[in-house]
Amino acid sequence: MSVVVEAVDLRKYFPVPRSIIDVLLHRPREYVRAVDGVSFKIYEGETLALIGESGCGKTTTGRLLLRLEEPTSGRIVFMGRDITRLKPRELRPLRREMQMIFQDPYASLNPRMRIGDQIAHPLLIHKLATPREAREKALEMLKRVGLTPPHEFYERYPHQLSGGQRQRVVIARAMILKPRFVVADEPVSMIDVSMRASILDLLESFRREYRLSMLFITHDISIGRIVSDRIAVMYLGRIVEMGPTEEVIRNPKHPYTRALIDAVPSIARRKRGKKLRIKGEVPDPRSPPPGCRFHPRCPFATEICRGEEPDLVEVGRDHYVRCFHLLGK
Ligand code: SF4
């Protein structure tokens, strides 16, 4: 299988605004280390679920891959080409191959534009169709995503649709360009529970039809399990565990992954033994703890964890973990 997108030691540090007092006292500038040395590959037709608590750097990672954020360092390789430093003009032809589906479908739609025109718009921007052809294709796409009758939906505006219908429009707008790679950022978290399965089914049908590669960002490991081939768990800007989905779910090796799994009743119910609970909040990303970043919350932390940071090492076939004391050993 060919690699569609690769992140190589990707970092993004956001400068923290300084007060006048900070400037007068010559205090050093601080940075939020949102993404701090992340590497992974996504293969053709594969979905990688990126999982973690809010603020762990998931969304920034997705935005970096699409060059919606400039990386502080590291590389992004798309279809074999290093796109890290491409200029906007050079990136433009690649934009149609890489799309993003946002968490809030309402915020990502233009409230003053008809639904059908919003779906047709990317075809016109990329000069892939005449206005007439773009309209026809938008009507087909409306039907494809289940917004029927399509002529009626074409004329509507975002405020006239439900949350689930709006997310179908966002998916239709992304898919009309037949992209190779999509970042789906919590695409069902703001949608009624009753509609979530059908939206996930819709994404899955596009994935199969277009052999789409996807980074699926979610805080919910049970959703990540349904949609993905592999899972990567992020904590404070770093990947702490990554591997084939069922292997990670059934045999987590990092305490943080295990705690995420134990917090989901539908998965945890089937497992025996004491559930692993973690306490406290994610530490301030401006000054991550020394050693293992998870050590202040980890029930298994020892002296070495407080002084040294573990590397991400392969512990099984394609299964990587960043921990000195692997679970189940
Ligand atoms: Fe816990 Fe130590 Fe493993 Fe970090 S390295 S997760 S502190 S056991």
Q: Cβ(300) to ligand 1 under 6 A?
A: yes
Average pLDDT of the residues in 134-146: 96
Q: What does the pLDDT read at residue 236? A: 94
Q: What does the pLDDT read at residue 214? A: 97
Q: How many CB atoms lie within 10 A of CB 153?
A: 25
CATH placement of domain 3-97+177-321: 3.40.50.300
Question: How much distance in Å is there from the Cα of 236 to the middle of ligand 1?
Answer: 14
pLDDT at 272 over 70: no
Listed in sequence order, the residues at least 6 apart from 151 whose beta carbon sits closer than 8 Å to its beta carbon are 139
How far, rounded to the nearest angstrom, does the alpha carbon of residue 305 sit from its chain's CA centroid? 28
Q: Cβ(323) to ligand 1 under 6 A?
A: yes
* Ligand 1, atom nearest to 306 Cα: 7
Q: Cβ(255) to ligand 1 under 6 A?
A: yes
Helix (H, G, I), strand (E, B) or coil at 218: strand
Question: How much distance in Å is there from the Cα of 269 to the middle of ligand 1?
Answer: 25
Kindly report the three-state secondary structure assignment for every residue of 153-198.
Answer: HHCCCHHHCCHHHHHHHHHHHHHCCCCCEEEEECCCCCCCHHHHHH
The residue contributing the CA closest to ligand 1 atom 3 is 323
Give the Cα separation of 137 and 208 in Å (integer).
20
Q: Cβ(31) to ligand 1 under 6 A?
A: no
Residue pair 324/305 in contact by the 8 Å Cβ criterion: yes
- pLDDT per residue over 287-305, tens digit each? 889 999 999 999 999 999 9
Q: 275 or 119: which carries more pLDDT confidence?
A: 119
- pLDDT per residue over 147-183, tens digit each? 999 999 999 999 999 989 999 999 999 999 999 999 9
Residue pair 261/221 in contact by the 8 Å Cβ criterion: yes
